[in-house]
Chains A and B, each alone.
Chain A
Amino acid sequence: MRNNPSSKAYRTILDTSRFYRSLGVPALVILAFLFILPLSIILSKAFVDSDGGFTFNRLIGNLTSAYTLRILAFTLFQASVSTVASVLIGLPGAYLLATYRFPGKRIIRAICTIPFVLPSILVVLGFVIFYGNNGLINQLLMNLFGLEEPPLRILYSFTAIILAHAFYNFPIALGLISSFWEQLPAHCNQAAATMGAKRWTVFRTITLPRLMPAILSAATLIFLFCFSSFAIMLVLGGGPQFTTLEVEIYRRARMTMDQGGAAALSLLSIVVALVLIFIYSWTQRSLARQEEIQETVQGRLPRSPQSLRAKILVVLYTLFSVVFVLGPLAGIILRSFQAPGSRSGNLEFTVKWYEQLFGIQSQAGSILGTAGTAVLLSVVIATITAIISLIIGAMTAATLRLSKGRANLTMELMAMLPMAVSSVIIGLGYYLISSFFNESKTTGSILIVLAHVVIASPFVLRTVLPEYRKIPFTYTQASLTLGATVSQTFFKVELPLLRGALATGAAFAFAISMGEINATLVLANAQVVTMPVVMYRLIGSYNFPGACALGTLLIVCCALVFSLTESLKRRPHA
């Protein structure tokens, strides 16, 4: 074999795939240690009865209970509606971002990612401050028309849940779809248009089918997020009539100390989520094979809007996203500058919450104060998380792109697993992990970064994979035939083609890490005090405006980082 020249190309490809296959290994190792191992231990409790014996009864009992099935049905229903709403809101924006160049484009992208970093308690507060019965909109209307009662009753209903989920999740649709759309070759549309097809027809028959991989990617992520939503459900929905599986898992794990029951319910939710991910992955594969980058990799070059209609559209969407996203954020910022005045209790302007945040010395005695240290720590952890997630995500995507055989599908499912598991159950798993380690700040920080990587890399993977699948394997082959090494091919040929997707993925990974609280609290026994941890503590000790002040700082940090990634994203040749 070795001396046979004709087998050389064959060998090269084999070697290549071995290289690419091995790229997925680190992701698997981290996943196994930090996720699958503790999770299986926790989930195995579903099969242990009260005397320590083996049982299936608990699982069967849960599966056949009418109540469980009812909340499962509702969980799926609300997640579907929320997903459709988020995608529908994101789609026009993705079109505008992919098609036009206009001032404020970068701002739209940057602010849209912000809801993502906010802990749900702050989103709830922001929503209430903006849309609430005593919120900004209602106060404005009451003052304008001299009304006694708030005219708009948006919150505490099913609509409010969908609204909040859309606020949280439409940025995913916007980000993923627009970065994919920008890479779509324009010539098909041009050809169709030349042959006299109407715009709508072109969109419906050519663009939309080709966008499907990105739309499905976004939809799956959004669905999984809404699937496990719970704080937003209860508070903004109005109460127990809107119960998700996650609420019931929480009840068993935290309130009634029924770990077996919690494990049984999460097994149920994991299976349901996996079925969805499976269907999605399968669809995604068959779609991706139809779409490969053509020889001339000419994406759409965004241009300035020419027609009046285009200009109006751009202005309207910009206004909409600014109000929709910035409204609740503005609520948080406003609250951070208010304090009840003495006696009367009326709200007055103040900067005292900020003074307090930076004035209180942390136990470590740092000069920056509690808030300063937390800001710094959060940014450092999020940056490292984003970098590692990017590497892991891109590497795993390289392996998965080979898309042959059942083994890869299994691996893809495993890589998506963290998104399918309730955070309450993951939290129990973290306790398990942390009980093996010495409580030191360094170990804690490392564990936190790794846990964030586990949560964030599925995102990077979902962002990168659809675009990676579009790169024909012949590119890789050609590059190797021309004498480039495998790593050169990976870094110089493939990665540059993925630039946009990588930047989007990194931004989301950063955001996820900035807002993450479950793993952070548990893994380091709260010795590693990040911004969400401080926020959670402030709220726990009645200091809501202080939490809003810190939330404002979080918003500012993220806005800065997101505009930075946006500027990195511009393609080298454009």
Chain B
Amino acid sequence: MKKHAILSLVLAVSLVPAAIFGQGKTESPASIANEITVYAYDSFTSEWGPGPLVVPAFEQKTGIKVNLVSVGNGGELLQKVLLEKNNPKADVVVGFANDILHEVLVSGLFVSYRSPEMDRIPEFLHFDPSFTLLPFNYGNFAFVYDTQKIQVPPQSLEDLLDPKWKGKVILMDPRTSSVGMGLLQWTIAIYGEDYLSWWKKIKPNTLTIADGWSSGYGLFTQGEAPLVISYTTSPVYHVMYEDTQRYQTAVFAQGHLAVIEGAGILKSSAHQAQARLFIDFLLSDAQEAIATTNIMYPVNPDTVLPDAFSAAPKPEVSLMLDADAIAKNREKWLTEWVEVMSR
């Protein structure tokens, strides 16, 4: 009967072939001379993202092959390269937001590169003075409203506290959503230490605080509430792909918090020259494709955009918190926020 035990073992082993052949086969990146591996967040690589447009264009222009790998979201990108510290595979990482800059720099995995394209990019977008992360697109957090329900939109964060918006605002949880985190930082940028009093007063006006942008914005387009925290550029999607101007951005004169997304080159990359070309391309030729698929503003002012982008008024004041301050206080802000909001 030993036979059976052996049979089962054989079956067991055959069921995990990946565990066996996966290890040895890892090809060293250097063996393919003219290929770079680029890690990007998932929506960058998806069929509807910039990836399918940007990659072939770059390959055609430079003759360098790009292996585009999808890696969750911004935080996961950093986790992945940290986990691979001893066995690095990527050359370029695309998609770190400015609020994670401190952690990226501390990791020490990236190398500084001052692309010549940076000269054309406005000063306020240079979020990393060390040029380890270079900006490729940006957006501003904003409240988007439904014109079928609201004729006169709120003009400021204070306006949102008016009792007439009772149960009409959809927010997102900063513990689980980057947009939620954006709003939290926005209130801190405006009110400083006193930001929690805004949150106390907004409570009765919120319909719900969703776990992520996806569910929150889904509720909004379903008509559950006429106001939602999103981006100034959100209405562009509805104009471009649904041909409707029903959804519009409420512009606040006090300013909007900016989110700038950056890309960086790994120190460990054996293809520094090719990686630099890819970054240059991202900041120049790829700008229109990125803007129209990510629905964000391009960083390069020379970019020609479709008319639909006129639906996204650029705020006069773009606000940003200091990256070190974010890294230092993030945990404390979240704890204070939960304390106030969960009562």
Binding site for B on A (CB under 8 A): 15, 18-19, 22-23, 25-26, 28-30, 33-34, 67, 121, 124-125, 128-129, 132-134, 155-156, 230-231, 233-241, 243, 247-248, 250-251, 254-259, 335, 339-345, 360, 362-363, 370, 388, 395, 428, 431-432, 435-439, 443, 446-447, 450, 486-487, 521-522, 525-527, 534, 536-544
Q: Which chain B residues border A231 with CB–CB below 8 Å? A: 211-212, 215
Chain B residues near A (Cβ < 8 Å)? 1, 4-5, 8-9, 11-13, 15-19, 22-23, 25-27, 42-43, 45-49, 52, 67, 69-73, 75-76, 78-80, 83-84, 87, 89, 100, 103, 147-148, 171, 173-176, 178, 181, 206-212, 214-219, 221-225, 234, 237-238, 241-247, 293, 295, 330-331, 334, 337-338, 341-343
B223 with A134: CB separation less than 8 A? yes
Contact A360 B47 (CB under 8 A): yes
Contact A256 B173 (CB under 8 A): no
Q: Select A128's contact among B15, B176, B218, beta carbons within 8 Å.
A: B218
Q: Please, could you name 12 A-B residue pairs with CB atoms under 8 Å apart, sorted by A?
A: A15-B1, A22-B8, A29-B12, A30-B12, A235-B219, A240-B341, A247-B173, A254-B176, A435-B83, A437-B23, A521-B72, A537-B49
Contacts known (A251-B175, A343-B245); A25 close to B12, Cβ less than 8 A? yes
Residue of A nearest to B27 (CB): A438
Knowing A234-B176, A235-B215, A256-B331, the reply to whether A522 touches B72 (Cβ < 8 A) is yes
* Bound Cα distance from A29 to B8, whole angstroms: 11
**Nearest CB in chain B: distance from A111 CB, A:** 23
Question: Which A residues lie within 8 Å of B175 (CB)?
Answer: 240, 247-248, 250-251, 255
Instruction: Select one of A18, A236, A238, A343 contacting B244, CB under 8 A.
Output: A343
Cβ–Cβ < 8 Å partners of B216 in chain A:
235
User: Which B residues touch A254, using CB under 8 A?
Assistant: 73, 75-76, 176
Distance in angstroms from A443 CB to nearest chain B CB is 5
Across the interface, do B69 and A132 meet the contact criterion of CB distance under 8 Å?
Answer: no
A-B pairs with lowest CB-CB distance, top 3: A345-B246, A239-B209, A26-B12
Say whether B22 contacts A436, CB under 8 Å.
yes
Instruction: Tell me the bound Cα distance from A128 to B337 in angstroms.
Output: 27
Q: Do A345 and B210 form a contact, CB below 8 Å, given A254-B75, A431-B76, A437-B18?
A: no
Rounded to whole Å, the gap between the CB of B125 and the closest CB of chain A is: 23
Complex partner residue of B46 from A125, A235, A236, A537, CB under 8 angstroms: A537
* Structural contact, B12 and A129, CB atoms closer than 8 A: no
Q: How far is the CA of A527 from the CA of B241 in the complex (A)?
A: 26
Give B188 Cβ to nearest chain A Cβ, in Å. 16
For A370, the chain B residues whose CB sits under 8 A away are 47
In the assembly, what is the distance between CA of A521 and CA of B73, in Å? 11
Q: Is the CB of A342 within 8 A of B244?
A: yes
Indicate if the CB atoms of A345 and B245 lie closer than 8 Å.
yes
Q: Which of B1, B16, B84, B209 contacts A486 (CB 8 A)?
A: B1
Contact A243 B47 (CB under 8 A): no
B181 A255 Cβ-Cβ under 8 A: yes
- Check A234–B42 contact: CB distance below 8 A: no
With A128-B219, A257-B78, A435-B87: A539-B214 Cβ-Cβ less than 8 Å? yes
Shortest beta-carbon distance from A454 to chain B in Å: 11
B341 near A438: Cβ-Cβ < 8 Å: no
Known: A257-B103, A339-B242, A431-B79. A241 touches B341 (CB 8 A): yes
Give the complex CA separation of A260 and B171 in angstroms: 28
Collect the chain A residues with CB atoms within 8 Å of residue B15's CB.
26, 29-30, 388, 450
Q: How far is the CA of A247 from the CA of B75 in the complex (A)?
A: 16
Q: How far is the CB of B169 from chain A (nearest CB, A)?
A: 11
Q: A239 to chain B: which residues have CB within 8 Å?
A: 171, 173, 206, 208-209, 341-342
Cβ contact of A541, chosen from B26, B43, B78, cutoff 8 A? B43
Q: A residues within 8 A CB of B246? A: 340, 344-345
Is the pair B222, A132 in contact by a Cβ cutoff of 8 Å?
Answer: yes
- 8 more contacts with CB within 8 A, not counting A128-B219, A243-B338, A436-B22, are A26-B12, A231-B215, A240-B173, A250-B176, A362-B47, A450-B16, A542-B238, A544-B217
Which residues in A have their C-beta under 8 angstroms from that of B19? 33-34
Complexed CA–CA distance, A199 and B313 (Å)? 71
| Closest chain A CB from B75 CB (angstroms) | 5
A240/B42 contact (C-beta < 8 A), A23-B8, A132-B222, A431-B80 known: no
Chain A residues with Cβ under 8 A from B178's Cβ? 255
Contact (A247, B12) CB under 8 Å given A439-B69, A537-B46: no
Contacts of B238 in A (CB 8 A): 340, 345, 542
Asked if residues B4 and A18 are in contact (CB atoms below 8 Å), the reply is yes
Residue in contact with B43 in the complex, picked from A19, A25, A537, CB distance below 8 Å: A537
- Chain A residues closer than 8 Å to B27, beta-carbon distance: 438
Does B176 contact A341, Cβ atoms closer than 8 Å? Answer: no
Whether A257 contacts B245 by the Cβ 8 Å rule is: no
CB distance from A527 to the nearest CB of B (A): 8
Q: Is the CB of B48 within 8 A of A29?
A: no
Closest Cβ of chain A to B37, distance in Å, is 9
